[in-house]
Structure 1
Amino acid sequence: MSVEPAFAPVSPNGAQPPYVLAQQALAHAIAAGILGPDQRLPSERHLCEQLGISRSTLRRTLKALEEDGLVESSERRGWRVRRVGFSRAVDGATLADFGEVNRDLGRTVTARVLAARTRPATSQEADRLQVATKDEVFELRRVRFLDGLPVCVTHDLVPLAVAPAVTEADFTTASLFGILAGAGHIPAGARYTARAALADAEHKRLLDLEPRAAAPVLTTSRLSLDTGGVPCADTRETYRADRYEVRLTLG
């Protein structure tokens, strides 16, 4: 018999009503994987006892979570966690950027450009990109949207000598990898790391996350290498955990 998860009782603080506090607690459990995709929520009685709220408050909480796309109700199964809104499967031999992958899956990919500028590389950036200190790099920061929903924030650095055309592109829709390939630097490999983190205030705002609640995110770092092993882009990504997942096939 499975053990139902435990929750700390919500503590009204006067700034937010109990149903919002309970909503944040359950949303955090979903984002953290305590309640996984397709998993049935604990009984209403259990949730009310654990969270210290009334049945009517809980039902308002569940409706709010439903409006946020985190849970759904079924006559036969009761309330359950919805599947992650967007997912992608990645073959270990495949290297493609966010936009290319999701366009191929039939999703509408757009972006809001936060910064697009040319500047000298710092010593740390120059070392990572294998260029001289103060060589010019193109810096690009964007919020990436899938079907109109903010999914991730990306920060790219490209040595300007690698692809001068980056300064002229409209990155609300343009593919960075496409521009690199057009300049003769096809991304063919990468040094990649990923880790879990908590969203800071800026990422909460950009990804439309609750500002007062802890919000897990997936952060990645990828140094893309062209066919000659030359670094052509240094990319940092922060994904909203409840809207995106990546499934890897290795070996």
Structure 2
Amino acid sequence: MTFQLDQWIRPIYELKDQSDGLHPIAFRGTGFIFPGGLMVTCRHCVDPLPSEPNFLAGVIEIGPGQYVAEKMHDLCFEEKGIDMAAAKVATSDSGLILGIRSPGIGQDVGTFGYAGTYGRLPAGKIFGELSFDQQSRWLEGYVTRAFNYELPSGEVRPSWEIDMPTPGGLSGSPLIQLRGPVPAGRGVVIGMCYGRYLALGEPDMSGIPMPGYVFGLAHYYQSLADARFNILEQQTLGEFLTERDAVLDMTNY
């Protein structure tokens, strides 16, 4: 990996501003940054929005035990109801690149996110301020297929099915392609992790049910490119990023 993962991939916290500083209230998930100061994540990570004085922020670790909170401004949900959200952040000079490509079965992919970050109460307490042991993880796998995943609600989502662990807290992290062209110092995003599902095993010859298998799920690259957020002023995400030289057509690779 040729770029610093935590430079543009952040844990999202709900924070409260008090007289003695910022206090973490809840860990919400993972988000990542595109050029133009745009952070994207899953809607279910940030919905419901916190009530004032609480707010959402991407947190940056600047040293051992030292953190800076970058507030998420003008947070909004994808206009067609897809499980995506976007917000403005102060970081604007660079970011990840959106890769446009045809379905790549067997494509090696990876992700970096904050699975396993949970709040803990002080030892022996049932009330009190939570502390968070921030856990970042790099995970790798490969694309098994591109398909329309039907949720229990009946909603159909164009998705990548990936043979890769996707534990809780990873929602909103970028699915990054690991082969092919990679501009120096930047990662190419071909999807966004949003969940997992259990593919039930079929009975064997004797009729005994076989164990199921858990696959990861990621929003398809085209869903990202076509996403609309009101902070983009009538543009799709793909159009917004094209203007900033942050879209890479990988169809021929």
The two structures have a TM-score, normalised by structure 2, of: 0.24
**Greater gyration radius:** 1
Determine which structure has the larger helix proportion and give its number.
1
The two structures have a TM-score, normalised by structure 1, of: 0.24
Determine which structure has the larger strand proportion and give its number.
2
